[in-house]
Structure 1
Amino acid sequence: MYLPYMMKPLIISIKLSSSKSSLVIFLFSFLLLGDHSRARITLPEGVTVPAVIAFGDSIVDQGANNNLKTVVKANFPPYGQDFPDQMPTGRFTNNKTPADMIAEELGIKEILPAYLDPSIDNKEYLTGVSFASGGSGYDPQTPKIVDVLSFDDQLKQFREYIEKLKGMVGEEKTQFILENSLFLVVAGSDDLANTYFTIGIRKLEYDVPSYAGLMASSASNFLQDIYKLGARRIAVFGAPPIGCVPSQRTLGGGGLRACAEEYNQAAQIYNSKLQPVTQYLNSTLAQSRIVYIDIYNPLLDIIENPLQYGIEVVDKGCCGTGNIEVAILCNKLLPTCPDDSKYLFWDSYHPTNKGYTILVNEVLGKYVDDFF
Structure 2
Amino acid sequence: MSSQTKESIEFELLTTSQQIADLARTLSAESDIAIDTESNSRHGYPEKVCLIQVATKSHVYLIDTLAVDDMAPFGEVLADESVMKVAQGAEYDVRCLDRQWGFRIRNLFDTAIAARFVGMERTGLSALIETLLGVTIPKLARLQKSDWARRPLSPEALSYAATDVSHLLDLRKILDSKLRALSRSTWAAEEFERTEDIRYTGPDPDTAFLSIKGSRKLNGQQKAVLKRLFSVREAEARQRDRPPYFVLPHETLLLLASEPKSDLASIPALKRQHRSRLGRQLRTAIQQGFTDPPIKNPPRSRGIPTTPITIERLQKLKKWRLKLGEQLTLDPALLWPMASLERLAKSPHTLDAELGSPDVRRWQREEFAAALGAALG
TM normalised by structure 2 equals 0.25
Larger Rg: 2
TM normalised by structure 1 equals 0.25
More helix by share: 2
